[in-house]
Amino acid sequence: MIKLDGNAMAGDLREIFAFDMTMARFTCAGCGRTDAVGALMLWGQEMGRVARCPHCDVVVLRMVHAPDRVFLDMSGAVRLEMPLAGV
C-alpha cells in the first residue's frame, strides 16, 4: 500500500537538480504517457525509493542513498520536459 507520491521526493531531487523536478513532466518508457514527476507513485523510504508510473505501474525512477553518494536510475523515463521559467 503506497502512501506517498512524487511530491515527497521534492527535497531529495532538489538536492541533485537545480530545478524543482516535481514540476518536470516525464514520458513513461512503459506506456508512453506523460505526467508530472510529482504524480509518480512512491514506494520505499529515503534510503531507497522506487517511483512508478501512475498509469501503468512501470518503474520510472529509482533513487538510492548510500552514505556518501546517491544513485538515480531514470531508465523508465524516455524523456523529461520542464519549463525554463518558474511558473
Partner 1 sequence: MARAAVSGRLIWRAATLTAAFQETQSARTLVLDVPGWPGHLPGQHVDVRLTAPDGYRAQRSYSIASAWVESPAPSSPASAGAAPSSPTPAGAAPSGAAPSGPAQSSPAQSGPAPSGPAVSSPAQSGAAPAGPASGSPAVGGETAGGETAENGGKIELTIQRLDDGEVSPYLTDVLEVGDQIELRGPVGGWFVWHAKPSNPALLIAGGSGVVPLMAMVRARADEMARQPFRMIYSVRTPGDVIYAEELARRVREDLGFDLHMVYTRKVPAGSPDMPKRIDEAIIKSHGWPPDLMPDSFICGPTTFVEAVADTMVSLGHDADRIRTERFGGTS
Q: Which residues bind partner 1 (CB under 8 A)?
A: 1-12, 14-15, 18-20, 22-23, 36-39, 41-42, 46, 85-87
Start-to-end CA span in the chain (Å) = 33
Give the burial class of 28: count Cβ atoms within 10 A of its Cβ; 0-12 exposed, 13-18 middle, 19 or more buried.
Answer: buried
Q: How far is the CB of 46 from partner 1 (least distance, A)?
A: 5
Is 20 or 29 the residue whose CB approaches partner 1 more closely? 20
Is 62 or 65 the residue whose CB approaches partner 1 more closely? 65
Alpha carbon of residue 41 to chain centroid? 9
Distance CA 8, CA 38 (A): 8
Q: How far is the CB of 71 from partner 1 (least distance, A)?
A: 17
Q: How far is the CB of 30 from partner 1 (least distance, A)?
A: 18
